[in-house]
């Protein structure tokens, strides 16, 4: 790569990053909602209905049109609308094609960047709470479509014996470690009406959000959320223990897996999902998936874990051999990769020795 190639690449990435912030502005202010509800809106319509200044409405609409996020069918009359399918991506966080979480988490992580230099120099970290509600909400939104549409219908059927228990046992019990805002726990509770589900997370704000979501869904009677470390979860036994994209964030992942093993019911199983990356560092430029995970690691996951004085600081790039090693150290006899399709995650079923 020449110096000109690198400069061109950086220019393109600067443009893309700035445009993501403009999408975030549109989401925060409800501008896309107005365009969806009022196709053919003028800048005056947008300003009035979104409650923003007309000059900002004009500039944002022109920029969005130039970027291709908004369509202007009538340049003379200056009338704007969302392109076909854009409402699914920008206005429905649960839609399989939703991009709301991608935009929101980008804006959230950026807020903590000023703290990174000090953490890098000291060897300390940046606490998860310092990344603010945008990061928390963004992560939740990124994972919501999978939990809502695929968790019960596609992922858990890879454990047919566990699914049978969840469907037929009198009161099967599920433990969801690192549950975040609760979408995974609520999806499992909705999919298995006999089950009692316990969600555990170290972030107090996430637990509060999960409790609110359970009450709104009418599932608070069967789903409980507690603010606790994964290694100190409630007593078992549990028929299924899940850890979705949280193992790499845990300061003591082996301890969490050991605690999970101790809480399994006979014949129960843990299901772990974490990043799908190569088994070893390649020493060369990689595909976009691994680049994405490394970027998250440098800016968020590793600093947040380092803030916990961790036994392990895995970072986001959690490779399969590391998961296998942690499972063995925790006392599991096997760690099998499951045939579950996912763009970014690899799924593991652990079994006791």
Q: DSSP characters for 104-148?
A: HHHHHHHHHHHHHHHHHHHT----GGGGHHHHHHHHHHHHHHHHH
Position 352 scores a pLDDT of 85
Q: What does the pLDDT read at residue 232?
A: 74
Locate 6 and state its tokens: 């690198």
Q: Which domains are seen in the chain, by residue range?
A: 3-90 (1.10.10.10), 160-299+311-352 (3.40.50.150)
Share of the chain above pLDDT 70, in %: 99
User: How many beta carbons lie within 10 A of that of residue 189, not counting itself?
Assistant: 25
Of residues 353, 347, 351, the one with CA closest to residue 154: 347
Alpha helices in the chain (DSSP H): 3-29, 31-37, 43-50, 54-67, 86-91, 100-122, 132-149, 160-168, 183-191, 204-217, 253-262, 288-296, 302-306, 320-329
Rounded Cα distance, 189 and 179, in Å: 13
CA atoms within 13 A on the CB side of 342: 25
CA angle 344, 158, 209 (to 5 degrees): 60
Confidence (pLDDT) at 258: 95
**What is the torsional sign of CA 212, 214, 219, 225?**
negative
State mean pLDDT over 3-30: 96
- Adjacent-strand bridge partners of 113: none
- Return the pLDDT at 1: 79
Tens-digit pLDDT profile for residues 217-249:
999 999 999 999 887 767 889 999 999 999 999
The span from the CA of 175 to the CA of 264, in Å, is 9
pTM of the predicted protein model:
0.94
Q: Summarize pLDDT for 301-335 with one digit per residue, the tens.
A: 999 999 998 999 999 999 999 999 999 999 999 99
* Position 299 pLDDT exceeds 90: yes
Q: Measured in whole angstroms, how far is the alpha carbon of residue 233 from the centre of its chain?
A: 22
Res 353 pLDDT > 80: no
What is the per-residue pLDDT for 236? 82
The mean pLDDT value for 108-120 works out to 95
Is the predicted pLDDT of residue 264 greater than 90, yes or no?
A: yes
Tens digits of residue pLDDT in 165-207: 999 999 999 999 999 999 999 999 999 999 999 999 999 999 9
The secondary structure of residue 299, as a DSSP letter, is I
Q: Write b or e for each residue in 301-322: b if 16 or more Cβ atoms lie within 10 A of its Cβ, otherwise e.
A: bbbbbbbbebebbbbbbbbbeb
């Amino acid at each position: 790569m020449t110096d000109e190639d690198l400069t061109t690449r950086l220019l393109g990435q600067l443009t893309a990053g700035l445009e993501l912030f403009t999408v975030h502005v549109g989401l925060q202010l409800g501008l896309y909602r107005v365009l969806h509800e009022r196709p053919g809106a003028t800048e005056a319509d947008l300003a009035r209905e979104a409650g923003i200044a007309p000059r900002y409405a004009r500039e944002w609409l022109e920029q969005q049109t130039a970027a291709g996020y908004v369509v202007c069918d009538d340049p003379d009359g200056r009338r704007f609308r969302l392109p076909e399918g854009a409402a699914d991506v920008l206005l429905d966080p649960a839609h399989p094609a939703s991009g709301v979480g991608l935009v929101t988490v980008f804006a959230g992580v950026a807020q903590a960047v000023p703290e990174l230099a000090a953490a890098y120099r000291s060897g300390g970290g940046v606490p998860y709470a310092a990344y603010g509600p945008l990061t928390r909400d963004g992560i939740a939104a990124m994972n919501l479509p999978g939990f809502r549409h695929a968790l019960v219908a596609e992922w858990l059927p890879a454990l047919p014996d566990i699914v049978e228990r969840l469907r037929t046992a009198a009161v099967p019990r599920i433990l969801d470690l690192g549950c975040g805002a609760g979408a995974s726990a609520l999806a499992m509770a909705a999919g298995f009406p006999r089950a009692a589900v316990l969600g555990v997370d170290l972030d107090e704000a996430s637990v509060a959000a999960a409790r609110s979501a359970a009450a709104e869904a009418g599932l608070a009677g069967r789903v409980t959320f507690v603010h606790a470390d994964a290694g100190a979860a409630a007593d078992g036994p549990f028929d299924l223990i899940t850890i979705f994209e949280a193992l790499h964030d845990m300061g003591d992942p082996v301890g969490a897996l050991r605690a999970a093993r101790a809480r399994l019911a006979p014949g129960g199983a843990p299901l772990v999902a974490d990043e799908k990356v190569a088994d070893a560092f390649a020493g060369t430029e990689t595909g976009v998936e691994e680049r994405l995970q490394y970027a998250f690691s440098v800016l968020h996951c590793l600093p947040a874990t380092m803030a916990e004085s961790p036994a392990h600081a895995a970072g986001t790039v959690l490779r399969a051999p590391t998961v296998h090693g942690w499972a063995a150290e925790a006392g599991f006899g096997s760690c099998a990769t499951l045939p579950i399709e996912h763009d970014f995650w690899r799924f593991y079923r652990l079994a006791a020795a």
